Amino acid sequence: VQLQASGGGLAQAGDSLRLSCSASGDTFNELALGWFRQAPGKEREFVAVISGSGSTTFYGDSVKGRFTASRDNAKNTIYLQMNSLKPEDTAVYYCAANQHIAYFSDYGAKLIGSWGQGTQVTVSS
């Protein structure tokens, strides 16, 4: 599957942004899709994942209650609604896809084979 992320940009603390990730291929409904981020000088961090049906979501501790993952299977697209943004949310955000939702973690990321190109999110204070 090929992934294309978009929607990043500049924001101020407290603002909202929505990221999108469109996917090619006819197995979209079977895949868990999610988001990771990487800030300069830091390790890649799990952000959010949503199951193929959209019924299950998991979030990283640092974004719980502020970010929401959703998907539109008719459009082969997932979204990450980011509210109450903080400067520490500044990073390159990558979307990813895999059949195994369990791979969406800080330690499982290396097992994920499908990644989008990344979109920059910069939050100023």
Give the model confidence (pLDDT) of 27-40 as tens digits.
888 999 999 999 99
The pLDDT, as a whole number, for residue 125 is 94
Percent of the chain with pLDDT over 90: 89
Q: What is the mean pLDDT of the chain?
A: 95
Checking if the pLDDT of 112 tops 80, the result is: yes
- The closest alpha carbon to 100, from 66, 56, 43, belongs to 56
Question: Would you state the structure tokens that stand for residue 49, as one six-digit string?
Answer: 């994942």
The distance from CA 22 to its chain's CA centroid, rounded to whole angstroms, is 11
Q: Could you tell me how many residues make up the chain?
A: 125
Q: 27: Cβ–Cβ under 8 A, 6 or more apart, which residues?
A: 1
Q: Which of 53, 49, 42, 22 is nearest to 104 (CA)?
A: 49
Residue 50 scores a pLDDT above 80: yes
Query: Rounded to an integer, what distance in angstroms lies between the CA atom of residue 71 and that of residue 51?
Result: 9
Nearest to 67 by CA among 52, 78, 55: 78
* pLDDT tier, 98 (very low <50, low <70, confident <90, very high otherwise): very high
Residue 88 confidence (pLDDT) above 90: yes
Instruction: Tell which residue, 123, 121, 124, 122, has the closest CA to residue 5.
Output: 121
Q: How far is CA 39 from the centre of its chain?
A: 14
